[in-house]
Chains A and B, each alone.
Chain A
Amino acid sequence: MSSATAVSKPRKKRKGMTRKTREALAFYACVSPWIFGFVVFTAVPMFASLFLSFTDWDSFQTPNWVGIQNYVKAFTDDPLFWKVLGHTFYYAIVSVPLSLLIALYLSNLLARDFKGKRIYRTIIYLPSLVPLVSAGLIFKWLLKPEDGPIDAVLSIFGIHGPAWLLDANWVIPAIIMLSLWQVGGGTILLISAINGVPKELYEAAELDGAGHYRTFWNITFPMITPILFFNLVTGIIGAFQVFDQVYIMTAGGPDNASQMMVPYIYNSAFKDFHMGYASALAWILFVIIMVISGAVLKSSDAWVFYESEVKK
């Protein structure tokens, strides 16, 4: 509804609700499905799992309160916890910056005006449309030792390729490779960000005789930092919660060499029936992601440039 219609009518004092209240009510009525969903499917389960993380719940019997025992067990008495946490960090620290860099590079190439740019953009984005499960299966085939395509290409150059998913040293790099395959989503966002940079800035730079790199570093890059920042935060959160790739490609093997936090939590909950312990692990992961995201958010003042803040 437009406010114009409301203004054009003579104001009658209505009993009870002012317009503001009515609008507020309408607002709450409209968002109520979301609020309901959030409470039922997010907030309640979260608090339930926080409570359960202090119990020995096996998902069937009445939970017994065990205090911080689950947390103590994770940090001191679980032979796999540190290993799995290490793998998860390794994966996140390598895959997130790498994806960002590749997306940045590709978006700079594709943001230009050239013939067939749409086709190229589509091709870059296509892999992101493939469900991760299928992508995992495809990669399993690509990474076949000996006669798989990747090792076959390597052998042309005389390199004897590793047994990728069966080799403890190569299994996480292989999973990182799969994550890079999904770089198209971030690329598309960055392309639109680059195209959103005001043209007059570039014209001014050209007049001042700025070179290609100079233009990139002083104009393009600062202007697209908000999107980079967005990609970085979502990337970090996603990387720490990696599940499908591991579950499909390796199930954490060989000998837990590729086990990550979320599949490990899933295992504890649904294979070992240690629901309480799994809840504790989930909360540990939550705190880790929160601290890292918080640090990145804090750092954003230093490097993320918002035009609106300058205009004030």
Chain B
Amino acid sequence: MRSFTKKLATATLAAVASLAMVGSLAGCGSNGAGKDDLVLTIWGGDTDKQTMQQRLDLAKKKYPSINVKLQYIAKDYDTKIQTMFSGGTAPDILEMAENINAYSSRGQLADLTAQYPNAEQQFGKANVQAYSYKGKMYGAPDRSAPGVVYYNKDIFDAAGVQYPSENWDWNTFVENTQKLVKRDGNKTTQWAYCEGDWWAWYMTWIYQNGGKIIDSNGKPVVNSSENVEAMQFYQDLMYKYQVAPKPEQITDSGADPLFSQGKLAMEVTGFWNVGALKDVKFNWGVAPMWHGKKTAVPMFSNALAVSSQSKHKEDAMKIVKFLSSKEGQKPIAENGLDVPANVEAAADKSFTEASWNKQHIDLSVFAKSTSMTWAPPFIPEWNQITKAMSDGMSQTWNGKQDVKTGLDKAQKTLEGALKK
């Protein structure tokens, strides 16, 4: 009967194994945090992780009784967060950006308005607007860097062009770009300017021209004459003046790599580029962006939100409030991670005279540009906006369709997506 015992043993093992599986499944929802710990989720890289941990350590000093566990999500942040919310295991505090109102409009986030009586002074108007829905603030702006012009000083000097400034208008811009391009036969070896299919870029042209994507009644106004004019201007940079690469000429790289290779005179991008350009061989600087009919600068930001599922909302709000205070924002500046969203922290010496700024770039440009930013319409259907624009305009940017047709397409798609 030994064989039977053997079988029984196997069977038991199998049963235990499947039970263990059940056990581990049950453990899934707890994030490995203790029962009363708060969970905070972020995305990003190593520096993001370290900085947030430092800030949480500061918070711990202030509120010793509150434990916050940092959960770093390396990939597919949006998908994972959505799944956590669906499964009833949402984090207590979460980093959010463009998607915020897909959540707030569905009652998934706690209202933070009462916590920040002086929000506009604390974060600036555009930031508060971006993270509010129907007059209530659902995200505490955490980091917010305006886009600035990064320019290659060597290229500008060689071409004898004055460095960019906020005094440039579109005409100055076009004139100067033509002096900054270098061609070798029919191949361009040095570009004047470069961007791609990203909302922060194309929408900025639109806003600088007095256009909008969504009007004040929440209706799409994508194909207005201002927008057509703005997008025509951008298309001309590629096809008429040929100072910016067409999509097919930069399929393998975007503006940032092109700039760091020294093949681009200027680009508009976020604060992260400062770190990326640490070791380049050429001289570069930053300047506030040019203007069109209006001044408009893109804003790259994110915020901290508290989920309405949280069992410790009070504590979570305390932590968020601390993290967006001057003290809680300091590590962001000290590590050179980003520009603190807290206006005071951004103006503080810890940022403007940061020790990591070895190239002595003029960091005040960021503070100066903050007042020029436009607030993106982070409506609940934000993803549909960017998709409709990319779909409608991709063939326009590829030079296979005129501007009006592309914008009409995007308008039609959006009208369909926004009709309730």
Task: Give chain A's interface residues, CB within 8 Å of chain B.
Answer: 1, 5-6, 22, 25-26, 29-30, 32-33, 36-37, 40, 58-61, 79, 140-141, 143-146, 148, 163, 165-168, 253-256, 267, 270-273, 275
- Assembly CA distance A167 to B394 (angstroms): 10
The chain B residue with its CB closest to the CB of A34 is B18
What residues of chain A lie closer than 8 Å to B11, measured between beta carbons?
25-26, 29-30
A163-B384 contact, Cβ under 8 Å, with A59-B85, A140-B251, A255-B392? no
What residues of chain B lie closer than 8 Å to A163, measured between beta carbons?
248, 398
Cross-interface CB contact of A254 among B3, B85, B394, B416, cutoff 8 Å = B394
Q: Are A1 and B3 in contact (CB under 8 A)?
A: yes
Q: Are B248 and A146 in contact (CB under 8 A)?
A: yes
Question: Could you list 14 further interchain pairs (A-B, Cβ under 8 angstroms) beyond the known A60-B85, A255-B391?
Answer: A1-B7, A6-B3, A29-B14, A29-B15, A33-B17, A33-B21, A60-B103, A60-B106, A61-B107, A140-B251, A145-B249, A168-B395, A272-B384, A273-B106
Query: How many Å from the CB of B87 to the closest CB on chain A?
Result: 10
Task: Give chain B's interface residues, CB within 8 Å of chain A.
Answer: 3-4, 6-8, 10-12, 14-15, 17-18, 21-22, 25, 78-79, 82, 85-86, 102-103, 106-108, 247-249, 251-252, 381, 383-384, 387, 390-392, 394-395, 398, 400, 409, 413, 416-417
Closest 9 CB pairs between A and B?
Answer: A29-B11, A1-B3, A145-B248, A254-B394, A271-B383, A163-B248, A59-B86, A33-B18, A26-B7
What residues of chain A lie closer than 8 Å to B417, measured between beta carbons?
272
- Assembly CA distance A143 to B383 (angstroms): 28
Cross-interface CB contact of A255 among B14, B21, B252, B395, cutoff 8 Å = B395
A32-B15 contact, Cβ under 8 Å, with A26-B7, A271-B383? yes
The chain B residue with its CB closest to the CB of A29 is B11
What residues of chain A lie closer than 8 Å to B398, measured between beta carbons?
163, 166-167, 254
Q: Are A30 and B10 in contact (CB under 8 A)?
A: yes
- Assembly CA distance A89 to B248 (angstroms): 27
- Assembly CA distance A148 to B249 (angstroms): 10
What residues of chain A lie closer than 8 Å to B247, measured between beta carbons?
166
Query: How many Å from the CB of A282 to the closest CB on chain B?
Result: 16
The chain A residue with its CB closest to the CB of B12 is A29
Q: Are B395 and A58 in contact (CB under 8 A)?
A: no
What residues of chain B lie closer than 8 Å to A273, measured between beta carbons?
82, 102, 106
Cross-interface CB contact of B79 among A141, A165, A168, A270, cutoff 8 Å = A270
What residues of chain B lie closer than 8 Å to A167, measured between beta carbons?
398
Q: Are A30 and B14 in contact (CB under 8 A)?
A: yes
- Assembly CA distance A256 to B387 (angstroms): 10
What residues of chain A lie closer than 8 Å to B15, measured between beta carbons?
29, 32
Q: Are A144 and B383 in contact (CB under 8 A)?
A: no
Q: Are A144 and B251 in contact (CB under 8 A)?
A: yes
A-B contact pairs, 28 of them (CB 8 A): A1-B3, A5-B3, A22-B4, A26-B8, A26-B10, A29-B10, A30-B11, A30-B14, A32-B15, A32-B18, A36-B21, A36-B22, A40-B25, A58-B106, A59-B82, A60-B107, A79-B416, A140-B251, A140-B252, A141-B252, A144-B251, A146-B249, A163-B398, A253-B390, A255-B395, A270-B79, A273-B102, A275-B86
What residues of chain B lie closer than 8 Å to A1, measured between beta carbons?
3, 6-7
- Assembly CA distance A248 to B152 (angstroms): 32
Query: How many Å from the CB of A162 to the closest CB on chain B?
Result: 10
The chain A residue with its CB closest to the CB of B394 is A254
* B103, B108, B248, most chain A CB atoms within 10 A: B248
- Assembly CA distance A172 to B228 (angstroms): 30
The chain B residue with its CB closest to the CB of A168 is B395
* B79, B85, B108, B394, most chain A CB atoms within 10 A: B394
Cross-interface CB contact of A145 among B4, B78, B102, B251, cutoff 8 Å = B251
Q: Are A166 and B251 in contact (CB under 8 A)?
A: yes
Q: Are B85 and A255 in contact (CB under 8 A)?
A: no
Query: How many Å from the CB of B20 to the closest CB on chain A?
Result: 9
Q: Are B18 and A36 in contact (CB under 8 A)?
A: yes
* B6, B17, B251, most chain A CB atoms within 10 A: B251
- Assembly CA distance A64 to B391 (angstroms): 30
- Assembly CA distance A139 to B413 (angstroms): 31
Q: Are A166 and B248 in contact (CB under 8 A)?
A: yes
* A25, A168, A273, most chain B CB atoms within 10 A: A273
- Assembly CA distance A33 to B15 (angstroms): 7
* B78, B106, B107, B392, most chain A CB atoms within 10 A: B106
- Assembly CA distance A166 to B238 (angstroms): 16
What residues of chain A lie closer than 8 Å to B3, measured between beta carbons?
1, 5-6
The chain A residue with its CB closest to the CB of B249 is A146
Query: How many Å from the CB of B346 to the closest CB on chain A?
Result: 32
What residues of chain A lie closer than 8 Å to B108, measured between beta carbons?
60
What residues of chain B lie closer than 8 Å to A255, measured between beta carbons?
391-392, 394-395, 409
- Assembly CA distance A167 to B251 (angstroms): 12
The chain B residue with its CB closest to the CB of A141 is B252
Query: How many Å from the CB of B218 to the closest CB on chain A?
Result: 17
Query: How many Å from the CB of A96 to the closest CB on chain B?
Result: 28
What residues of chain B lie closer than 8 Å to A145, measured between beta carbons?
248-249, 251
A33-B14 contact, Cβ under 8 Å, with A1-B3, A271-B387? yes
* A1, A144, A165, A271, most chain B CB atoms within 10 A: A271
Q: Are B391 and A253 in contact (CB under 8 A)?
A: yes
Q: Are B106 and A144 in contact (CB under 8 A)?
A: no
- Assembly CA distance A145 to B392 (angstroms): 22
Query: How many Å from the CB of A269 to the closest CB on chain B?
Result: 8
Cross-interface CB contact of B383 among A30, A141, A272, cutoff 8 Å = A272
- Assembly CA distance A22 to B79 (angstroms): 46
Query: How many Å from the CB of B191 to the closest CB on chain A?
Result: 15
- Assembly CA distance A113 to B390 (angstroms): 54
A270-B78 contact, Cβ under 8 Å, with A79-B416, A140-B252? yes
The chain A residue with its CB closest to the CB of B10 is A30
Query: How many Å from the CB of B231 to the closest CB on chain A?
Result: 15
Query: How many Å from the CB of A39 to the closest CB on chain B?
Result: 11
Query: How many Å from the CB of B4 to the closest CB on chain A?
Result: 7
The chain A residue with its CB closest to the CB of B107 is A61
Q: Are A270 and B395 in contact (CB under 8 A)?
A: no
The chain A residue with its CB closest to the CB of B4 is A22
What residues of chain B lie closer than 8 Å to A148, measured between beta carbons?
251
A165-B391 contact, Cβ under 8 Å, with A30-B11, A33-B21? no
The chain A residue with its CB closest to the CB of B80 is A270
Query: How many Å from the CB of B387 to the closest CB on chain A?
Result: 7
